[in-house]
Structure formats: structure tokens, C-alpha cells
A and B are shown apart, each in its own frame.
Chain A
Amino acid sequence: MSRDKSLVVDGVRQFFGPKNSRVQALSRTDLVIEPGQFVCLAGPSGCGKTTLLRLIAGFINPSEGQITVSGSEIIGPGPDRGVVFQSPTLYPWMDVASNVELGLKFQGVSKDQRRADSERYLQMVGLTDFAHRRTYELSGGMQQRCQIARVLASDPEFILMDEPFGALDALTRERLQNELLDIWRKTGKTILFITHSVDEAVFLGSRVLVMSPRPGKIVFDEPAIFSKPGESIAAEEIRSLPAFLELRERVRSSIQHSH
């Protein structure tokens, strides 16, 4: 994989608010995400994780610096970067299946193909029985799963996920973790995954980042070796590896010390 296809965050700083009382959300951040990486980002609440994700998604423009994909600057949202929002953002005027199909519809995919795809991803997130319900009839966790299905169905190169499994029970969470790992192993997509769970970050990521509180700064950046594209080890096996436990401990203490 060539380096020029990577996502580069170059000297980015982010401020919010009016000039005289502005808040710095991100201190100077440099980051290169290589194609195919599964980057997990952890850090205390309010440290700037979502801000970084929204910058990459193109929802906000950096106050300083620039972000490029394959060498060209990001100037707005695009279908190459799918987003799972921290709070579910679905369309209540469509049913669940239509929400999932929306990306494909925008791409001009035929109706039959769309149906087939949405059925597949709804099955994956366990919402088959709710395909024709309205989104406000779903629980918070179900809405989150619907969002995940929507992004996966639209098949972007980059998947940006903001605490996607935060609202799920342990069992569903584990199942979806494995599904996501599976997709990542099969497709080699590039994923940025924000989580508050250190265990989840170390388990899923091929690379783990930790951000310090305001103004946000990446203070920890190490490869995690446990999930690799092309091979799958049983979850329990990974979680009992000494190296896994050791990395998890170091990530945890780096979050604690960053306070």
C-alpha cells in the first residue's frame, strides 16, 4: 500500500468560539493514518476526540493546518469517509431499511441491489425484524446499530466511528466488535474508532492512540498487534495474551497520567 493514499493531519489546531474568548479544542496535531489501519482513539471526555473526527469527516474546517487524503485537501464531507455519529443521526421520515439504503440510493444503485444490501447489513446488526419500522421506534442502541449498518452499506474507504458501541449491552457489543473486525479483515478498510473502553481499543485496533485533555493532544501512539487483516484469532485467546494485557495496562495508565 502506497503512502500517498494515506490520510494526513498536518499541523492542525482547532479553536471554537469568538476571537476574544475562544477555546482551544485541539493543540497542534500531526497524524498519518495509513490505508488499512484500524486506529482506535481513546481519551477522557471532552479532550477533543470528536473534534478530530469531525475535522477528518470535513464537517468543520481546521483553524490552522490542513488535512489531506491521497494528497488532496479535505474541504467538506464526502462519500469516501463514512461517519457513525456519537449520537445517532437517522432520518425519522424514512423507515429503518431506507435509512440503511440511503448511501446506495445517492450513488444511484438499483432498488433491488439496495434491498439486498440493506437486508444483509440489517441482518448483521440484528435489525431484520425492524426493517420497516420508523427510526424513532428503535431504542438508542438499536439506532446506533442502524447507523452502523447505514455506513457499512454505503461502503466508504474510511469509516469514522464515534463511540459506536457505547450504548450496547456486553453481548451485542462483542458480537458487533467481531463483525467489524471481520469486515475490516476482509475489506482492508481504514477505520478511525473512538471509544472510552481501553479494552475495546486494544482489542480492535491495529494502532492505539490516546489523547490528553484540553487542548487535545495525542500523547500515546502504538501499534497493537492483536488483530491483523487476513488472520483471525479467537477473542478469548487474544484477551488472555500477556502482550495484550501489558498494552492494555500501558494505555490505561497513559490515560490516567494525561489528566
Chain B
Amino acid sequence: MVIPLEGLEYHPSGGLADQHGGPAAVSKSAPLWVRVRKNHWTTRLIALAAFLVVWWILTTPWAWNGDKPIMLPLYLPSIPSVWNAFIRANTIHPIAEGVDREVVGEYGYYLWQHLLATLQRIGIGLFFAIVIGLPLGLLMASVKIISVSVEPYINFLRSLPPLGYIGLLIVWFGIDNTSKIWLLFLAAFPPITIATIAGVSGIKEDQIHAAQSLGASRLQVVSSVTVPAIAPDLITGIRVALGFAWTTVVAAELNNGIPGIGGLAYLSGTELKTPLTITCIIVIGITAIVLDSIIKAMERVLTPWRGKA
């Protein structure tokens, strides 16, 4: 097995969960087992290759199995069929073999249009989650009555599975975009509010005192101390919120979810187009990882003092 290593240097702050940083440089001529021990990317590539090999073994027709794959395509489609589904979803193609009529992607939209529609919903939901969740958190952190009375409802809301109340939202806001955005908003705002409250309670009181002794008004204390001081927690909250919103996206798009990557995943599943479902799952997963890395990068750029002061 040949693992391509060229151009893949370990990035100390990249990757998903490498808190225990690997060393900066591992010689390319080092034996594989050294690279595995020292380089997370090597490890990941090997794991991915192993995964693909297992997939391939399970989905390839074998002579000893009567020329059938170990798992039937309906349950686990082969790698090429998933790839074909991916290509189909991104091109104009005949509606069926030997038919003249051509259609765009899947259900009238290219795959990227499905993804974009979902990202838009998430973006709007997250935007409102921040616009409402941040001030609510600040209010709850500073006014006891509000915190005491509102907190139980936030915890209540947080514990509900989105599938439980999507029907209600559809009754209230219709089957179109509004109810979907509401669902994503409701999933996203509690983590932001809770992170804001945690951030405020973590502010060192002398940092407030110092500002007051320098003549800061109430508003100046909030803008110069409170808001920047909670920024690291807030970004963490947004990261969690985005994760929540992303995992509820299929629920949000269960009904009338086309275009939408979650809707596409659900619909293709119900129509037994498993290769397309798996394509959607892969796209959903990769997008989530990319979004998460973007927020982590923002974290590094916007709050470089995190953990240092």
C-alpha cells in the first residue's frame, strides 16, 4: 500500500481534534511506523484507505459468493455507484437510459444548489440565533429576575428533539422556508445564550473594576470589557450552535425540503436511491467539518489571547 505523503506537512493547528500536537516536521524518508506515530495526517490517510478497502470488499462481486457482493447494493452501494450518483447530481443528464428528455442534477437542482439552499437556511437561522441569543445571554447574566424566569424554558427547549416540534412549526409558519429557519434558529440559540452567560460569569471582576476606575461609563464597560471578554466563549457557543443546527438540518428539511441537502438525503432514502443518500451524507459530513474548521480559524484570528490571559 502506497501512502502519498508529498505536500502533506503536519499543520500544528489544523485538523479536527489534535490537541496533543504532533511535531512540526517528520522526515519523508522516515519509516512508515514512525510517520504514523508522529504525523496525524499519515494516520488519517491510512484509516481512510482501510475504510475504503473494507467498503470495496463488502460491495464487490465475489466468485465464491455466486458473483454477488457480500452486501447487496440496496443496503450498501458500491464505491463507483456512489461516485456516479455524485456526478449525476452535478450534471445535466438523461432522465433514464435511452430517454431523450434531460434533467438537471437531482429533483431539478444541482447538488451544490441543494447544499447552498441548506447553508442559506442555516446562515439565517444562526444569524438570528446570535442576534437574539447574545443580548438575551447578557440580560440573563445581569438581571437576576430575567435569568431566574427564563432559564427553565431554555433548558426545556434545549432538551427537546427537533423532530418533536417541527410539525408544530409547520402549522404555525407554513411548510416553506420560514418553519425550517425557525427550527434551525431554535436549535442554535440556546447554546449561544448559555455560552454568553458562562462568559459573563467568567469575567474577572477586577477587569471591570479597572475600567470603572479609569472612568468608564456603564456602556463603555460593556463595550470595552464585557463583550471582548466573552468573545472566546461566544465563539465556542456559535461553534456548538452551528453543530446543533447542522445536525437538525435533515429534520428541518423533512417536509418540502427540496432544494436542500437534508431534504435530498431524506427523499432519496425514501425512494431507495441509496447511492445518492450516501453521497448526501458524505457531503453533509464534509461540509460540517469545513464549517467547523472555519470557525476554529476565526477563533484563532479574532481571539488570539484565548487561554493566555
Contact = CB atoms under 8 A, between A and B. Distances in A.
Interface stretch (B66-74, B76-84, B155-163, B205-213): B205-213
A238 B28 CA distance: 68
Contacts, number: 68
Interface stretch (B42-50, B127-135, B217-225): B217-225
A76 B212 contact: yes
A93 B214 contact: no
B198 interface: no
Question: Taking chain B's interface residues, is the majority helix, strand, or loop, or is none over half, making it mixed?
Answer: helix
A163 B93 CA distance: 78
Nearest to B206: A89
A256 B206 CA distance: 32
A78 interface: yes
A57 B213 contact: yes
A154 B214 contact: yes
Chain A, interface residues (CB within 8 Å), range: 20 to 34
Interface stretch (A16-24, A99-107, A114-122, A170-178): A99-107
B304 A134 contact: yes
Interface in B252-309: 303-305, 308-309
Given A102-B214, A106-B214, A106-B217, A59 B309 contact: no
B224 A91 contact: yes
Chain B, interface residues (CB within 8 Å), range: 20 to 34
A78 B305 contact: no
A162 B216 CA distance: 21
A136 B232 CA distance: 15
A186 to B, nearest CB: 22
A59 B215 contact: no
Given A92-B308, A136-B309, A79 B215 contact: yes
B202 to A, nearest CB: 13
Interface of A: 57-59, 76-79, 81-83, 85, 87, 89-93, 102-103, 105-107, 134-136, 150, 154, 156
